[in-house]
Amino acid sequence: MRLVTKLKDFHCQAFHGIYPEELEKGGPFIVNIEVTQKFQNQDTLNQLNQLVNYELLLAFTKEQMAIPRPLIETVAQAILEKIKKQFNHLFQIKVEIIKVNPMQQFDHANVAVELIQDF
């Protein structure tokens, strides 16, 4: 069986980008994470230490979003690596970072990257 733990629609203000305005003013971002875990039996579902802890997903996300980087791809990679090191028996990790209306150049459109690692 597989269990999917999700962090959905985490909104934050961050300073990622390559343009001076992005670095100075920052901008809104949305982060979504899905961690798919393999497990053998129902007993696993009753043991928090055997499951992906969504509080840690949130902590990793806050920590990495607070570090300014030129590219959101590298932010996604940093979050993914923290998850991979923390949890066992993973099947897949997906990290999506959405940059909301970047520099108002895209007529209210968002841009996003999604990094996926299968195990």
CATH assignment of the domain containing 83:
3.30.1130.10
Q: Output the six-digit token pair for 19.
A: 């343009």
| Predicted local distance difference test score (pLDDT) of residue 65 | 98
| Predicted local distance difference test score (pLDDT) of residue 106 | 64
Is it the case that residue 34 has pLDDT exceeding 90?
yes
| Predicted local distance difference test score (pLDDT) of residue 39 | 78
Among 3-17, 68-82, 94-108, the range scoring the smallest mean pLDDT is 94-108
The answer to whether residue 117 sits within a structural domain is no
CA–CA dist 12, 92 (Å, integer): 24
The answer to whether residue 32 sits within a structural domain is no
Is it the case that residue 113 has pLDDT exceeding 90?
yes
Q: Which residue range(s) make up the domain with 12?
A: 2-26+42-103
Average pLDDT over residues 62-81: 98
Count the domains in the chain.
1
Please list the residues that pair with 11 across neighbouring strands. Answer: 30
| Predicted local distance difference test score (pLDDT) of residue 49 | 79
Q: Are 36 and 4 in contact (CB under 8 A)?
A: yes
